[in-house]
């Protein structure tokens, strides 16, 4: 067991709580830096997708996990970023400027969607974002002069200050840098007053309001930040796939993003990454197992949807804190070795509180 | 005449949306949870009806009744197996859970070898019959939808207004804890509410099947029923039907008078406008907690 002796207030808000953190995260950073030389190209591409989804997941986690606002149309922000990037890079803009514009446009879209969030909550907000998602998807499909319609459009490879980032390795490092910056930014935000305000709003709007938190400002800010992160992820997604079409940003993508943060663990930054790894490796795992199953099950087209659904049900029922929650339990078990009790993480039974009364 | 024709097709489509929305509203009113699996329940109901008619060779009415009863049972089992254990958890967990149920249902139906990936026509006796009233041409299928919806609405109205069961459901929807103290078996009621919602979804599926086809992805129409529920106010039963009609009519007219593409998003535009102007919907109750 580890005992922390705090001698300074800074330790309370420090990102690394103890030397163990420093060691393990440095090791992770080294491994990620060495990844292009350690793993095959195919897996590097998958790792890049994990990073891209993690950026989008950070945005959604900020909104859903930390501010308590649920978006069922987050793929729309991803799409706005992707199309903005594709169009701007296609028009010859430099990559960083286009990326900033993509993030900005997404954030602006987020602001617009955030406006209903000031008046409605819970399921109504879900409806608003869902509707927005459908409308944006239709716009992508119909605004053919810009987006190429349902035929989709090609995306040029990014270049940064004259270097081409077309190769898998270079693009991986680009994604890694952006992910690290986004993660550190998010962690920093969460220990700052703004992040604390978000969490306060999540836990109780009334108490947050009475403590002087301007609900409207923080809710729209959360939406804008979340959408900006999704926009950046969308821009990278467009570059990675080199081809985008409206159906990549439909409701199923939005649900995938939600599934990612729920399975990873709602309300934890670790959960985003665990969820992203799950989302990317799951189809691979299914296709690996397929060959060992009888053909009736293994070759059936609906297998993936069924497995996703069952996994989601299982997590909500048995592990509401997601993969990260499972890790917390294992860690607590190891740390307290003989003293771990069964009921330590038990959920409290409660009667449902009415959502209809604001 | 064109205008009347559009109204009739809009109303019949709207009735389908309304029926699915009715399922959402029943569940929301009864248990204050939102079911995203309603469209998939409808799909299961349609497949159930199809299986009864073609595989087992039941006569039409028996097939319809057994499909509805089967779905009601399925709804209750679903509630008991997955919804009840997480009752009282944040509303979002239940949303994710029902999304999971929907995924699983769609995946499993698709996985049935040789059946799941095909589309079918439901063999109903009134298939392709047409009534002509003057210059007006009415599909009997559309008429059946409208009539069945009206009957169902009347039945539900009577249930909630006059029967002990309906009043108990209303009580538990307003305050579960207080209802529990009054001796109302809240958990059993929740099961019944889910059964009722699944049965309504099955009816919607059976009515919709002759117009479109029976296939694994027909549940996506459930996503259009959400706007209907929101427009009507999420907690009002007549509101759900009215909302469905509004959405159906708007869709039907925008499909005819506006350029391509507006038909598909009309419902969502309406719901966004509705949320901006009147977030509680047309018939929603406005409640506010005073601190």
What ipTM score was computed for the predicted complex, to two decimals? 0.84
- What is the Cα–Cα distance from A316 to A261, expressed in whole angstroms? 12
In a domain, A33, yes or no: no
With beta carbons under 8 A apart, name residues in chain B contacting A150: none
In a domain, A77, yes or no: yes
Instruction: Give the pLDDT confidence score for residue A303 in this predicted structure.
Output: 80
In a domain, A23, yes or no: no
CB pairs under 8 A between A and B: 168
- What is the Cα–Cα distance from B215 to B101, expressed in whole angstroms? 17
Q: Structure tokens of A117?
A: 């969030």
The answer to whether the CB atoms of B96 and A251 lie below 8 A apart is no
CA torsion B23-B29-B34-B36 (nearest 10°) is 0
B201: number of Cβ within 10 Å: 35
Pinpoint the alpha helices (H) of A120-143. 123-142
In a domain, B1, yes or no: no
Closest CA to A235 of A356, A89, A61, A30: A89
Q: Rounded to an integer, what is the distance from CA A102 to the centroid of its chain? A: 17
- What is the Cα–Cα distance from B238 to A298, expressed in whole angstroms? 45
At residue A159, the 3 state secondary structure works out as strand
B149 — contact with chain A (CB < 8 Å)? no
Compare all CA atoms of chain A with the CA of B230 and give the residue at the minimum distance: A124
In a domain, B82, yes or no: yes
In a domain, A238, yes or no: yes
Which CATH number fits the domain that encloses residue A254? 1.10.3470
Mutate to test the interface with A, among B174, B279, B286, B287 (most CBs of A within 10 A): B279
Strands (E), chain A: 153-154, 159-160, 163-164, 243-244
How close B137 comes to chain A (CA, Å)? Answer: 32
φ, ψ of residue A160 in degrees (nearest 5): -120, 115
Closest CA to A100 of A113, A79, A83, A84: A84
Task: List the end-to-end C-alpha distance of chain B, in Å, as a whole number.
Answer: 56
At residue B116, the 3 state secondary structure works out as coil
pTM score of the predicted model: 0.88
In a domain, A193, yes or no: yes
Residues A341 and B148: beta-carbon distance below 8 Å: no
The answer to whether the CB atoms of B268 and A349 lie below 8 A apart is no
CA angle B9, B14, B17 (to 5 degrees): 140
Q: Would you give per-residue pLDDT tens digits along chain A (358 residues)?
A: 677 888 888 888 888 888 888 899 999 999 999 988 888 888 899 999 999 999 999 999 999 889 888 888 899 999 999 999 999 988 888 888 889 999 999 999 998 888 776 777 667 788 888 888 888 888 888 887 777 777 778 887 777 776 777 788 888 999 999 999 999 999 999 989 999 999 998 888 888 889 999 988 899 999 999 999 999 999 999 988 888 888 888 888 898 898 899 888 888 899 999 999 999 998 888 888 877 777 666 666 778 888 888 888 888 888 888 888 888 888 888 888 787 777 777 766 555 555 554 4
With beta carbons under 8 A apart, name residues in chain A contacting B34: 123, 126
How close A38 comes to chain B (CA, Å)? Answer: 36
B102 — contact with chain A (CB < 8 Å)? yes
B22: number of Cβ within 10 Å: 33
With beta carbons under 8 A apart, name residues in chain B contacting A358: 287-289
Q: How far is CA A260 from each of CA A100, A103, A230, B164, rounded to the nearest angstrom?
A: 25, 21, 14, 44
- What is the Cα–Cα distance from A261 to A66, expressed in whole angstroms? 12
CA torsion B246-B67-B74-B46 (nearest 10°) is -50
pLDDT in tens, B198-254: 999 999 888 888 877 787 788 888 888 888 888 887 777 888 888 888 888 888 888
Residues A119 and B279: beta-carbon distance below 8 Å: yes
Taking each continuous run of H as one helix and of E as one strand, the counts in chain B are 11, 2
Helix (H) or strand (E) holding B131, with range, is strand B130-133
A247 — contact with chain B (CB < 8 Å)? no
Instruction: Give the pLDDT confidence score for residue A320 in this predicted structure.
Output: 80
- Please report, rounded to a whole number, the percentage of residues in chain B having pLDDT higher than 70: 94
Reply yes or no on whether the pLDDT at B278 is more than 90. no
Considering only residues 49 to 78 of chain B, which have any Cβ-Cβ distance to chain A shorter than 8 Å?
none
At residue A249, the 3 state secondary structure works out as helix
State the pairing for strand pair B136-139/A159-160. Answer: unpaired
Compare all CA atoms of chain B with the CA of A258 and give the residue at the minimum distance: B96
Helix (H) or strand (E) holding A5, with range, is none
B88 — contact with chain A (CB < 8 Å)? yes
- What is the Cα–Cα distance from A254 to A109, expressed in whole angstroms? 16
A297: number of Cβ within 10 Å: 13
B23 — contact with chain A (CB < 8 Å)? no
- What is the Cα–Cα distance from B20 to B26, expressed in whole angstroms? 10
Pinpoint the alpha helices (H) of B209-236. 222-232
Mutate to test the interface with B, among A306, A311, A318, A350 (most CBs of B within 10 A): A306
In a domain, A15, yes or no: no
A211 — contact with chain B (CB < 8 Å)? no
* Residue entry with tokens 């009475």: A210
At residue B37, the 3 state secondary structure works out as coil
Q: Structure tokens of A145?
A: 């002069």
The answer to whether the CB atoms of A131 and B271 lie below 8 A apart is yes
CA torsion A15-A16-A22-A26 (nearest 10°) is -20
In a domain, B118, yes or no: yes
Domain count, chain A: 1
**Closest partner CB to B279 (pick from A64, A124, A262):** A124
- Alpha-carbon dihedral sign for residues A126, A132, A134, A137: negative
Reported confidence tier of residue B285, pLDDT bands at 50, 70, 90: low
In a domain, A348, yes or no: no
A286 — contact with chain B (CB < 8 Å)? no
The answer to whether the CB atoms of B265 and A138 lie below 8 A apart is yes
The answer to whether the CB atoms of A142 and B97 lie below 8 A apart is no
In a domain, A290, yes or no: yes
- What is the Cα–Cα distance from A264 to A256, expressed in whole angstroms? 12
3-state secondary structure B27-69: HHHHHCCCCCCHHHHHHHHHHHHHHHHHHCCCCHHHHHHHHHH
DSSP letter, residue A356: S
The answer to whether the CB atoms of A312 and B216 lie below 8 A apart is no
Compare all CA atoms of chain A with the CA of B104 and give the residue at the minimum distance: A306
How close B127 comes to chain A (CA, Å)? Answer: 30
- What is the Cα–Cα distance from A313 to B32, expressed in whole angstroms? 19
- What is the Cα–Cα distance from B261 to B199, expressed in whole angstroms? 33
Reply yes or no on whether the pLDDT at B127 is more than 50. yes
In a domain, B256, yes or no: no
In a domain, B193, yes or no: yes
Compare all CA atoms of chain B with the CA of A356 and give the residue at the minimum distance: B287
With beta carbons under 8 A apart, name residues in chain B contacting A296: 113
Domain containing residue B161:
19-219
With beta carbons under 8 A apart, name residues in chain A contacting B116: 300-302
The answer to whether the CB atoms of A308 and B92 lie below 8 A apart is no
Closest CA to A315 of B42, B92, B27, B24: B92
Residues B102 and B39: beta-carbon distance below 8 Å: yes
How close A133 comes to chain B (CA, Å)? Answer: 9
How close B196 comes to chain A (CA, Å)? Answer: 21
- What is the Cα–Cα distance from A299 to A290, expressed in whole angstroms? 7
Domain containing residue A136:
39-342
A232: number of Cβ within 10 Å: 29
A5 — contact with chain B (CB < 8 Å)? no
State the pairing for strand pair B130-133/B136-139. Answer: antiparallel
Closest CA to A117 of A250, A218, A231: A218
**Closest partner CB to A302 (pick from B82, B88, B111):** B111
Q: Rounded to an integer, what is the distance from CA A64 to the centroid of its chain? A: 10
B95 — contact with chain A (CB < 8 Å)? yes
With beta carbons under 8 A apart, name residues in chain B contacting A263: none
Instruction: Give the pLDDT confidence score for residue A358 in this predicted structure.
Output: 42
Domain count, chain B: 1
Q: What is the mean pLDDT of chain B?
A: 82
**Closest partner CB to B275 (pick from A124, A134, A357):** A124
Q: How far is CA B25 from each of CA B147, B240, B263, rounded to the nearest angstrom?
A: 21, 7, 25
In a domain, B68, yes or no: yes
In a domain, B100, yes or no: yes
DSSP letter, residue B214: B
With beta carbons under 8 A apart, name residues in chain A contacting B82: 313, 317
- What is the Cα–Cα distance from A81 to A58, expressed in whole angstroms? 15
């Amino acid at each position: 067991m580890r005992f922390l002796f705090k001698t300074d207030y800074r330790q309370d808000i420090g990102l690394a709580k103890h030397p163990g953190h420093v060691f393990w995260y440095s090791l992770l950073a080294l491994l990620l830096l060495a990844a292009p030389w350690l793993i095959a190209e195919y897996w590097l591409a998958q790792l890049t997708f994990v990073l891209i989804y993690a950026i989008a997941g950070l945005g959604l986690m900020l909104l859903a996990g930390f501010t308590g606002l649920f978006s069922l149309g987050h793929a729309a922000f991803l799409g706005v970023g992707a199309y903005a990037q594709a169009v701007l890079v296609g028009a010859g803009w430099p990559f960083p400027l286009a990326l900033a514009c993509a993030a900005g446009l997404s954030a602006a879209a987020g602001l617009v969607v955030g406006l209903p969030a000031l008046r409605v909550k819970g399921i109504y907000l879900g409806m608003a974002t869902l509707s927005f998602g459908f409308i944006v998807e239709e716009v992508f499909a119909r605004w053919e002069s810009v987006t190429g319609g349902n035929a989709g459009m090609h995306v040029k490879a990014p270049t940064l200050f004259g270097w081409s980032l077309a190769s898998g390795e270079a693009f991986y490092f680009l994604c890694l840098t952006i992910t690290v910056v986004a993660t550190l930014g998010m962690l920093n935000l969460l220990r700052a007053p703004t992040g604390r305000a978000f969490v306060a709003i999540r836990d109780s709007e009334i108490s947050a309001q009475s403590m002087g938190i301007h609900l409207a400002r923080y809710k729209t800010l959360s939406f804008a930040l979340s959408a900006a992160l999704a926009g950046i992820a969308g821009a990278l997604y467009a570059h990675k796939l080199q081809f985008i079409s409206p159906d990549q940003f439909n409701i199923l993508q939005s649900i995938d993003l939600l599934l990612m943060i729920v399975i990873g663990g709602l309300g934890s930054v670790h959960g985003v990454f665990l969820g992203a790894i799950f989302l990317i490796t799951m189809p691979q795992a299914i296709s690996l197992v397929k060959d060992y199953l009888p053909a009736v099950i293994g070759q059936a087209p609906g297998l993936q949807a069924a497995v996703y659904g069952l996994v989601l049900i299982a997590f909500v029922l048995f592990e509401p804190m997601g993969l990260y929650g499972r890790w917390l339990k294992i860690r607590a078990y190891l740390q307290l070795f003989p003293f771990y009790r069964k009921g330590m993480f038990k959920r409290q039974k409660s009667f449902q509180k009415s959502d209809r009364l604001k | 005449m064109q205008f009347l024709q559009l109204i009739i097709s809009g109303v019949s489509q709207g009735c389908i949306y309304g029926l699915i929305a009715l399922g959402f509203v029943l569940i929301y009113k009864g248990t204050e949870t939102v079911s995203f699996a309603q469209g998939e329940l409808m799909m299961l109901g349609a497949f159930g009806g199809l299986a009864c008619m073609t595989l087992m060779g039941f006569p039409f009415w028996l097939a319809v009744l057994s499909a509805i009863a089967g779905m009601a049972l399925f709804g209750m089992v679903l509630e008991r197996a997955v919804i009840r254990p997480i009752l009282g958890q944040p509303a979002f967990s239940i949303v994710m859970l029902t999304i999971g149920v929907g995924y699983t249902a769609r995946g499993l139906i698709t996985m049935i070898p040789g059946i799941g990936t095909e589309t079918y026509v439901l063999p109903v006796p009134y298939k392709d019959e047409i009534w002509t009233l003057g210059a007006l041409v009415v599909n009997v299928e559309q008429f059946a939808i409208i009539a069945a919806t009206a009957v169902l609405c009347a039945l539900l109205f009577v249930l909630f207004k006059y029967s002990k069961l309906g009043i108990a459901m209303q009580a538990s929807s307003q305050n579960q804890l207080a209802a529990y103290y009054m001796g109302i078996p809240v958990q059993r009621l929740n099961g019944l509410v889910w059964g009722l919602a699944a049965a309504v979804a099955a009816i919607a599926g059976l009515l919709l099947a002759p117009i479109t086809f029976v296939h694994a992805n027909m549940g996506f129409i459930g996503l259009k029923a959400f706007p209907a529920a929101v427009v009507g106010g999420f907690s009002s039963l007549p509101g759900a039907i009215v909302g469905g009609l509004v959405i159906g009519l708007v869709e039907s007219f925008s499909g005819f008078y506006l350029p391509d593409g507006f038909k598909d998003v009309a419902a969502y535009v309406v719901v966004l406008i509705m949320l901006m102007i009147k977030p509680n919907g047309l018939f929603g109750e406005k409640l506010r907690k005073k601190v």
